[in-house]
Structure 1
Amino acid sequence: MKDLYNCLLTFLFPAMVAAQTIPAHDPVMIKQDSVYYMFCTGMGITTWSSVNRVDWKKEKPVFDKPADWVLKELPAFKGHTWAPDISYHNGQYYLYYSVSAFGKNTSCIGVATNKTLHPSSPDYRWVDHGKLIQSVPNRDDWNAIDPNLFIDEDNTSWLTFGSFWDGIKLVKLNNDLVSVAHREEWYNLASRRNGNNAIEAPFLFKKGKYYYLFVSVDFCCKGAKSDYKVMTGRSEKITGPYVDKNNVPMMQGGGSLVIAGDTTNWFAVGHNSVYTFEGKNYIVYHGYDAKDNGKSKLIVKELYWDNDNWPTLDKEIGGKK
Structure 2
Amino acid sequence: MTAMAAGLLLAVLPHPALAQGSYPDPLPITGQQIIHDPTVLRLKSGQYVAYSTGGVIGARLSKDLRNWADAGNAFAEPPEWWFEYNGTGDPWAPDLSYRAGRYWLYYAVSSWGTNHSAIGVATSPSGLPGTWTDHGKVFASETTDTWNAIDPAITRAGGRLWMSFGSYWTGIRMVELDPGTGKALGGATVHHLATRPDAPYAVEGPSLVRHGRYYYLFASYDACCAGVNSTYKIRVGRSTAITGPYTDSTGKPLLEGGGDLLLAGHGRYVGTGGESVFRTRGQDWLAYHYYDAEDNGTPKLGLNRLGWVRDWPVVKQSRS
**TM-score interval (norm. to shorter):** 0.7 to 0.9
Cα deviation code 1:131-168 (max 9, x no counterpart): 1111111x20100100001111x210000001101111
Report the TM-score, using the length of structure 2 for normalisation: 0.87
- The whole-number CA distance in structure 2 between the counterparts of 1:194 and 1:78 is 32
Cα deviation code 1:8-36 (max 9, x no counterpart): xxxxxxxxx94476111000011113110
Whether contact under 8 Å (2:124, 2:132) holds in the other structure is yes
Report the TM-score, using the length of structure 1 for normalisation: 0.86
- The whole-number CA distance in structure 2 between the counterparts of 1:177 and 1:149 is 13
Aligned counterparts, 1:231-270, within 5 A: 231-262=235-266, 264-270=267-273
- The whole-number CA distance in structure 2 between the counterparts of 1:184 and 1:117 is 28
* Cα root mean square deviation, aligned: 1.6
Deviation at 1:206, TM superposition (A): 0.5
Whether contact under 8 Å (2:176, 2:184) holds in the other structure is yes
Paired position in structure 2 for 1:291:
294
Paired position in structure 2 for 1:104:
114
Structure 2 unaligned spans of 5+: 1-27
Whether contact under 8 Å (2:102, 2:123) holds in the other structure is yes
- The whole-number CA distance in structure 1 between the counterparts of 2:32 and 2:107 is 24
Give the residue type in structure 2 aligned to 1:227.
Answer: T
- The whole-number CA distance in structure 2 between the counterparts of 1:169 and 1:59 is 32
- The whole-number CA distance in structure 2 between the counterparts of 1:157 and 1:19 is 36
Paired position in structure 1 for 2:133:
127
Whether contact under 8 Å (2:60, 2:70) holds in the other structure is yes
Deviation at 1:275, TM superposition (A): 1.4
Q: Tell me the number of residue pairs that the alignment of Structure 1 and Structure 2 aligns.
A: 289
Paired position in structure 1 for 2:160:
156
Give the residue type in structure 2 aligned to 1:25.
Answer: H
Whether contact under 8 Å (2:31, 2:67) holds in the other structure is no
When Rg is computed on C-alpha atoms for both structures, the one with the higher figure is 1
Deviation at 1:184, TM superposition (A): 1.3
Paired position in structure 2 for 1:3:
none
- The whole-number CA distance in structure 1 between the counterparts of 2:48 and 2:81 is 30
- The whole-number CA distance in structure 2 between the counterparts of 1:118 and 1:192 is 37
Inter-CA distance 112–227: structure 2 relative to 1 (3 Å threshold)? same
The range that moved more, 62-71 or 102-111, is 62-71
Q: 2:145 aligns with which of 121, 140, 143?
A: 140
Q: 1:117 aligns with which of 103, 108, 127?
A: 127
The range that moved more, 77-86 or 164-173, is 77-86
In the TM superposition, structure 1's runs of 4+ consecutive aligned residues that sit over 6 Å from their partners are: none
Structure 1 unaligned spans of 5+: 1-16, 316-321
- The whole-number CA distance in structure 2 between the counterparts of 1:159 and 1:217 is 19
Whether contact under 8 Å (1:157, 1:177) holds in the other structure is no
Partner-residue secondary structure (3-state), 1:63: coil
Give the residue type in structure 2 aligned to 1:297.
Answer: K
- The whole-number CA distance in structure 1 between the counterparts of 2:102 and 2:51 is 16
- The whole-number CA distance in structure 2 between the counterparts of 1:286 and 1:142 is 24
Q: 1:85 aligns with which of 78, 90, 95?
A: 95
Cα deviation code 1:216-265 (max 9, x no counterpart): 00011001111000000000000000000110000011000000002x22
Partner-residue secondary structure (3-state), 2:108: strand
Whether contact under 8 Å (2:74, 2:131) holds in the other structure is no
Paired position in structure 1 for 2:314:
312
Give the residue type in structure 2 aligned to 1:169.
Answer: R
- The whole-number CA distance in structure 1 between the counterparts of 2:184 and 2:223 is 30
Cα deviation code 1:44-87 (max 9, x no counterpart): 0000111001111211211222212222x22x421321000000
Inter-CA distance 172–222: structure 2 relative to 1 (3 Å threshold)? same
Q: 1:300 aligns with which of 293, 299, 303?
A: 303
- The whole-number CA distance in structure 2 between the counterparts of 1:60 and 1:190 is 34
Deviation at 1:311, TM superposition (A): 0.8
Inter-CA distance 133–118: structure 2 relative to 1 (3 Å threshold)? closer
Give the residue type in structure 2 aligned to 1:198.
Answer: A
**Percent identity over paired residues:** 39
